Chains A and B, each alone.
Chain A
């Protein structure tokens, strides 16, 4: 799994780790054990979510749990902070918030 052309990030080593399968918006995806969810997603696609203000896609900003720009959702509607959540096999991730099924906790 060397650099994926469609992804935003690029791997610079540590590629011998075992693979984990997950999905993004129903599409199958693959990451490495030890990846953060943010890194695993951005190896496949170029964004994590789109801005609720219509100014385009967002792909995180601080990578240290401070900006909260990297929120994604599970298919059951739970909100995850992608940069501090480790990738786990079988995760089913959505880049859009489930329709108001979930009150904001912010």
Chain B
């Protein structure tokens, strides 16, 4: 029998562990990643020539990061690794790729999608100003480029990354003006029974908050964002919010890192026609998968934060499980005890995820309160008022219809950063549950195809 063609999209924790598991069984997978280096989001590698140590780059996760990079280096000769390659479409059992300006296609018997996550955003008046970045962006500026997104940065939103990135900035010597969390503190206490599922992570989280406070950094919980103020040419100048006690405060800053935890990059799963399910707790859709990562489509497997936001350690486990599922479905021997152990670990991560979601809820109610002139879609500059008009004038309650009428989600980010908030705006306006509004359907190419010009520029030098 010919060697099965197995393709993995993503060289983050999930993809790397999936590749390792396949290689251990004598299979040579193709590993595709649009990034230039492996590591994914959390273990993102800095460019050649940077000198910071693992300890200073990855903090308490330094050991894991080093292990991940070593594991991948050891795999290099035994996989077909294609960096700087975007997987932009799927038709039947064929994956379409773009490398530089060259497009190509690979046929697969099994596809493991380990595409990771991006920030989940709720708009606030003024979030279209220069100097407002996603929480992940703030971290990338630091990790991958040794820079801060501004000279005085406010961190606003909710979720573990809010505190983590603020602490990383402070440690690296950046000025952190404040940490503003929309989640009230008491929810954290209430979620303890679930958060205790991972005592080590819980402790690390508490230590982060303590470190921030000891560094004299203001932390406010239970806040309501009001506006990011500034001038069109200059960008951000101040941020205004309401404290949990109802007092309106203004803080001067030249940058804002904004984010409400993460959402899966599930476009490829959508293009592969995988089914999705609504998660009532976090009010978003996830692709359906079984305990091992099988999607609803035969031959398509899902692993890591691209399928369910469980975090990096869980992504490693899910990557291994998905690879074992592939092997088992291809008729290879797989150790049942190993599968059972991995599944058990994944269940612990799932309990923790529920705890995080309860402690740092998505601020759905903020969407209904968005002012008419607040921009919802940064790409096409569409306001909450224009979106509401699409609902009331055209009766467009399903989000893909509302998109056609209002252009929300049609811009260059393809709805990644406005989609969830737009659904909430529509649901509140039409008085229907958000699951009835649905989700923005993915379209190929999953990102606009950009023709790079680096080589030309080098010749010009």
Residues of A in contact with B (beta carbons under 8 Å apart): 3, 8-14, 16-17, 33-36, 39, 43, 46-47, 51, 53, 55-69, 71, 74, 76, 78-81, 85-86, 88-92, 105-106
Contact = CB atoms under 8 A, between A and B. Distances in A.
A66 B141 contact: no
Given A9-B141, A11-B147, A61 B381 contact: no
Interface residues of B, number: 64
Contact of A10 (B150, B235, B380, B448): B150
Q: Which of A51, A61, A89 has the most CB of B within 10 A?
A: A61
Given A34-B46, A51-B128, 13 more contacts: A8-B131, A10-B147, A10-B151, A12-B146, A36-B144, A39-B147, A53-B381, A66-B413, A67-B134, A74-B456, A80-B450, A85-B452, A105-B451
Contact of A62 (B48, B50, B134): B134
Q: Which of A12, A13, A39 has the most CB of B within 10 A?
A: A12
B148 A34 contact: no
A60 B131 CA distance: 8
A106 B449 CA distance: 7
A68 B454 contact: no
Interface in B212-247: 231-235
Given A10-B147, A12-B142, A78-B453, A68 B448 contact: yes
A81 B412 CA distance: 12
Contacts of B130: 8, 46-47, 56-59
A42 B47 CA distance: 18
**Could you tell me the dominant secondary structure of chain A's interface residues?**
loop
Contacts of B118: 62, 64, 66
Nearest to B141: A63
B233 A57 contact: yes
A4 B420 CA distance: 37
B43 to A, nearest CB: 14
| The 7 residue pairs across chains A and B that have the minimum distance between CB atoms | A56-B232, A90-B461, A68-B412, A53-B381, A63-B137, A59-B130, A34-B47
Contacts, number: 176
A39 B147 CA distance: 8
B460 A63 contact: no
**Could you tell me the dominant secondary structure of chain B's interface residues?**
loop
Interface string B418-430: 0000000000000
Nearest to B413: A67
B442 to A, nearest CB: 13
Contact of A66 (B151, B235, B447): B447
Contacts of A34: 46-50, 145
A76 B453 CA distance: 10
Q: Which of A47, A64, A78, A89 has the most CB of B within 10 A?
A: A64
Contacts of A13: 52, 146, 172-173
A53 B380 contact: yes
A56 B235 contact: yes
A54 to B, nearest CB: 8
Interface of B: 34, 41, 46-52, 118-119, 128-134, 136-137, 140-142, 144-151, 172-174, 231-235, 254-255, 265, 375, 378-381, 412-413, 416-417, 447-454, 456-458, 460-461
Contacts of B137: 60-64
A89 B461 contact: yes
B137 to A, nearest CB: 4
Nearest to B137: A63
B417 A61 contact: yes
Contact of A88 (B131, B255, B413, B454): B454
Contact of B52 (A14, A67, A88, A89): A14
A33 B233 CA distance: 29
A101 to B, nearest CB: 14
A8 B133 contact: no
B59 to A, nearest CB: 15
Nearest to A53: B381
A82 B83 CA distance: 18
B140 A78 contact: no
A30 B138 CA distance: 22
Contacts of A12: 142, 146-148, 172-174
A98 to B, nearest CB: 13
14 contacts: A8-B130, A8-B150, A9-B141, A12-B172, A17-B50, A34-B145, A57-B234, A59-B235, A61-B133, A61-B378, A76-B456, A78-B451, A85-B454, A90-B460
Nearest to B381: A53
Nearest to B448: A106
Contacts of B379: 67-69
Q: Which of B46, B137, B231 has the most CB of A within 10 A?
A: B137
Contacts of B172: 12-13
A69 B49 CA distance: 28
A18 B142 CA distance: 19
A74 B148 CA distance: 26
